[in-house]
Structures are given as structure tokens and as C-alpha cells.
Amino acid sequence: MKSERMKYLTILCIATIAVAVLGTSFVSAVHPETNLIPDYNSVNGYEHDKYDPEFNLKADSVTIPMKRSGRLFLIEATVDGETGNLVFDTGANGLVLNSTYFRSYVKTARAYSNGITGTVGSTEQISVGKLEFAGLMYKKLNADLANLGHIENRRNDKILGLIGFSMLRSLEIVIDPINNELKLFRIDKAGNRLNYNRPGFKADYSQKIEGNSNILFLKGTISGKVLNFCFDTGAETNVICSDCNKKIMSTLTITRRTSLKGAGAAGAEVFYGRMNEFSIGNQQIPNMQTIITNLDALSESYGTHIDGILGNSFMKQGIVCINFVNKQFGIRFTKGEEK
């Protein structure tokens, strides 16, 4: 299994998107202000470490306020004395740091990279001494190094890097996009909260988590067909693969054409529209924003076929709970007035 994972490519989706606002003829035009997909996703060719945080005052839980920057969630953090923001990006397999602030570190490894529009190149790995945020502390970490200056320029926020599930796997994770909060609970080896007086998460729908990856894959249904989706808090909208069958594609409403520029030299033309017949469990979620594009490069990098990405459009639907120890994903759907 380990040797299989070592074959995975590194995926860097550093995307700058120019959007065409189109009529029925779909003639291309540039609209640079709209940003539709994650700027960066990383699934690395080497095995990522999994880290357990140190809790201040031996607390059994922590609530982390998240700042909104467009459709991204930011967590204030300090890395080796450098203070700024980490993008909460569950599409990133490990910790990713911005080369703007950490370029002087000794490079310890290099991995091959592949982007959503083709070959990107390679990414380097460094080691840092300490990461702190919201009363949690991690020591002696490995991190990917990438140029994230384009995110800073677009957001006007200091971006230290990206943080995903690899730093949180030993905890129960509750993502509350309505209140912009990330809640983390310490759990035992069976996945139960250490503080038994705290009520557990009450989900409207639960799904078993498959595999042991730091990336969360979920099953969803469109037009009666079960599809495999990547759950990505760093994706500013949903994505559906353009090679899905005609029955699935016929349920989508395409509104305009979009020009997608990736981290490499290649570009790609994609479509933007609405996902009308998506359901998870018995809950139908219509009218979610989505991009339609080829996901072969992402599937190859993740080591499994994916039919789409569930991003911000899906996250707005409710409060999510992820527990990698007992392998449970749950969602409590929000009512109309809460949205």
C-alpha cells in the first residue's frame, strides 16, 4: 500500500482564471475578477507525516475562528515566528508553505508535479520547527514549498500557506461555515470524544470514510448514478468532470465559457454553470454552482478516479463533521433562514 502511494504525483493547481460572460453563442470574452476553482491543491509523491497537536492547558477541545477572504477560509497562525494566515484547504494532502516567507530554508526533498491543465514541474520540501494556531502547537514539521504570491495579491491578506486534514486527523473535526468556525475535539482510539459530557455531533446524514488518505472522498448521486467526489474546502465552487455520461451532463445548466490558466504553460477551456440534480443520502441539493472540466490529471494524482469536487457551493449547505478515527463523515443541513 505504501509503495502504491509513493507513485502518486504531486498535484499543483495554481489557477488564474479569466471568465467569459457569454450569450447563447458562447463567444469568448475576458472577465478577470471571477475566481472559480482552488488556487492550489497538493497530493505529494512522498509519504506525508501525520501530526498530533499539543493542546494548551490540556483542553479537550478548541474553537478556531476562521476569517473569510472571498470564498476561502483563513486561520491566523505563526510558523517559526512568522505570523500570517493559513488557507484551510482540505484538498492539500499536507502542509504547504509560501516560498515568499520560507525560501531561505534548506530544501530536503523534491517531488514531480502535475496540474489540472497538464505538467507543472516539481515542488520542494522543507522542515520547520514550530507551527502554532488557536492554542494548538505542532513541532518539527515537513512542508511543501510553493509560490502562493498570487493568492496574496488577489486577497490582500498575508498568506503563510495552506493547511489540510493531515494536521487534524487525530481529532474530530467540525466545520461550521455559517458561523465561520472550525471546532476540534480530542478523541480516544475508538473515535469517541474524551469529554463524555459534551454531546456528540447529530448528523442528518452520515457516510463511511473509505481508505486512509489525508484527502476525503465522498459518494454523491446525480441522475441516479453514484459518483466519487473530493471534499475540498479550498475549492471556491464545485467541479464536475467533463467525461461524465450524457445523462449526467444533461442535468447541468451551462451558463458561460471560462478560460482556465493553470500553474504550467498549458491552458484549458472549461464551462461554468449549475448542478441541478445532486443528492447526498436522501437530501437533494439543487442549483449549486459548478465548473465542468477534465479531471484526469487530478484522478491520476489522487490515485483514484474522481468524478468531481465538492467545494464552497456544497459547504454552504450545512455543518460538517469528519472523524478519521471511526471513519465517519456527517452533515447537518442548515435551514433556509440559517443560510
Three-state DSSP at 176 gives strand
Q: Is 90 exceeded by the pLDDT of residue 33?
A: no
Q: What does the pLDDT average to over 68-93?
A: 94
Beta bridge pairs of residue 11: 114
- How many angstroms separate the CA atoms of 219 and 209, rounded? 10
97-122: per-residue pLDDT in tens?
Answer: 999 999 999 988 776 555 555 555 56
CB 38 within 8 A of CB 235: yes
Q: Is 70 exceeded by the pLDDT of residue 55?
A: yes
118 backbone φψ class: left, alpha, beta (φ>0; ψ -120 to 50): left
**Torsion 307-50-1-10 (CA) sign:** positive
Three-state DSSP at 138 gives strand
**pLDDT in the model for residue 38:** 45
283-334: per-residue pLDDT in tens?
Answer: 999 999 999 998 988 888 888 999 999 999 999 999 999 999 999 999 999 9
250-262: per-residue pLDDT in tens?
Answer: 999 999 987 665 4
- How many angstroms separate the CA atoms of 275 and 250, rounded? 10
- How many angstroms separate the CA atoms of 85 and 62, rounded? 18
Residue 51 banded pLDDT, cuts 50, 70, 90: confident
Per CATH, 51-197 and 206-333 having the same topology is answered yes
**pLDDT in the model for residue 154:** 82
Residue 123 banded pLDDT, cuts 50, 70, 90: confident
Q: How many CA atoms lie within 13 A of 299 on its CB side?
A: 16
Fold of 206-333: Cathepsin D, subunit A; domain 1 (2.40.70)
Q: Break the chain into its structural domains and give their ranges.
A: 51-197, 206-333
The class of domain 51-197 in CATH terms is mainly beta
pTM of the model: 0.84
